[in-house]
Amino acid sequence: MKNVIVALGLVEWESMFVSGLGHPMFGISVQRRCVDGIDIRAAIQVVECHGVIVSDATPRIDQDLIAELRELDIPLIAITSDCEFWSDQGVTKFAQLDDKNPLQALKIVSELLRGELPPVVEESKVTGIHIAVAGFGGASGRTTTVKELSLQLSQLNMRTVMIDADTYGPSLDQELGLDVSTNGLLELCRVLEKKSAKGKLFADLVTQLRTGLSVVPGLPRVSRWTDLRISALRELWQESKENFDVVVTDVGAILEVDQSLMHETSLPRRHAASLTALESADVTIICARADSVGVARLVRGYLELHELFAKSSVYVLLWGIMNEAQARDIKNAVTRHTGIESVSCIDLDWELSRKALQQTTFMSALNPRSEVSVQYQGLAKLIATDSKLSQTLGSVTPLTKRTRKSIRRVA
């Protein structure tokens, strides 16, 4: 017996349709008759539900509710005369409405609930890989890693985009010398919310820095975080992966577990950009300074929030290494306390870093042969080889002897 929630709105045939659903031949039990989307959201929290049935007349059905039902694995079936509208909202199951005989949809609805009719789905798209770059506290090296790793991945002939999802202190636009009017994270989310032409989305709003490398700056003002909607952010990560081979995201320094993201998706959340990025990520790189304070923050933060990284492959990147002995000791300490084996160490090069910031460019662009550049190149190849990028790359160029030496601290 399939338990369903029905919210058909103010249509004349609502009572007849609900009565028809209750016929034993369909094997359906109507658990709740709801008024609108808000009523549906409340009902699914207390009623065991195998499906929600709505119509074109159902009020307050928004993308947040549709996304919430999808996450709870509750199919939404729309009885409609406008399939294209519901498809744009992300709904894949429809029953065509016959105005003269609405009850004809009963059989289709029952078959959709039993899985006897395949849902209407879009043609599958090849998706790229999402790399989330995280860190605990300030000056952990996140933004530098986003820049340098993205440049190296683009030089592996991967179409790469950098996205600044730090809602507390975005700085990617400043470090790259971008104009303050450059379209960024908020503009992309607004386009998605308005359902503008997706084919033009990235061509119009993503800023291309060089061949194969683009950027999406963060919020124009940190106070604008309230304008970011969870459903739009999740769609942004998916769209990014469908348009680029690699998406590299700075998720910010301040993280927390927010279980309400799974339920109250219509409300703005300060950490929504970071948490939805981590939710989408295939790879997470946790950055930290290679000193006692940086390592302590890393260990404490990872142990407290490790569930945020459970769905992705986790790498640790320690920057500011002074010598081989320090690299060996600090790597062993991180692995011992966190259990993470993939630990990379990046040398300290203040002069090259200073020049890159002054010239608003990349360290690897100023000196491709520097030790730092070679180490980031090795990390890019390591991630590309370990992840599904290797399928796109075909075969990654083997690491040179010098590169292997530079990343021999990577487990």
pLDDT at 348 over 60: yes
Length of the chain: 411
Cα dist from 288 to 274, 300, 316, whole Å: 17, 12, 8
Instruction: Note the pLDDT tens digit of each residue in 297-347.
Output: 999 999 998 888 888 999 999 998 888 888 899 999 999 999 999 999 999
Q: With bands split at pLDDT 50, 70 and 90, how would you rate the model's confidence at 114?
A: confident
Q: Which two tokens stand for residue 304?
A: 């407290």
Q: Given this model, what pLDDT does residue 160 score?
A: 95
Computed over every residue of the chain, the mean pLDDT equals: 84
Q: Given this model, what pLDDT does residue 258 score?
A: 66
Q: Given this model, what pLDDT does residue 196 score?
A: 54
Lowest mean pLDDT among 121-130, 161-170, 281-290, 365-374: 121-130
Q: With bands split at pLDDT 50, 70 and 90, how would you rate the model's confidence at 118?
A: low
Q: With bands split at pLDDT 50, 70 and 90, how would you rate the model's confidence at 398?
A: very low
Cα dist from 147 to 144, 151, 160, 161, 211, whole Å: 5, 6, 11, 10, 15
Q: Given this model, what pLDDT does residue 162 score?
A: 96
Q: Helix/strand/coil (H, E, C) string of the chain?
A: CEEEEEECCCCCCHHHHHHHHCCHHHCEEEEEECCCHHHHHHHCCCCCCCEEEEECCCCCCCHHHHHHHHHCCCCEEEEECCHHHHHHCCCCEEEECCCCCHHHHHHHHHHHHHCCCCCCCCCCCCCCEEEEEEECCCCCCHHHHHHHHHHHHHCCCCCEEEEECCCCCCCHHHHCCCCCCCCCHHHHHHHHHCCCCHHHHHHHHCEEEECCEEEECCCCCHHHHHHCCHHHHHHHHHHHHHHCCEEEEECCCCCCCCHHHHCCCCCCCCCHHHHHHHHHCCEEEEEEECCHHHHHHHHHHHHHHHHHHCCCEEEEEEEEECCHHHHHHHHHHHHHHHCCCCEEEEECCHHHHHHHHHCCCCHHHHCCCCHHHHHHHHHHHHHHHHCCHHHHHCCCCCCCHHHHHHCCCCC
pLDDT at 396 over 50: no
Q: Which domains does the chain have, with CATH numbers?
A: 2-114 (3.40.50.2300), 129-406 (3.40.50.300)
Contact 376, 148 (CB under 8 A): yes
Lowest mean pLDDT among 135-139, 179-183, 356-360, 378-382: 179-183
- Number of Cβ within 10 Å of residue 30's Cβ equals 16
Q: Which two tokens stand for residue 20?
A: 């028809």
Q: Given this model, what pLDDT does residue 395 score?
A: 45
Q: With bands split at pLDDT 50, 70 and 90, how would you rate the model's confidence at 117?
A: low
Q: With bands split at pLDDT 50, 70 and 90, how would you rate the model's confidence at 406?
A: very low
Among residues of the chain, what percentage have pLDDT more than 70? 86
Q: What average pLDDT does this structure show over 214-233?
A: 88
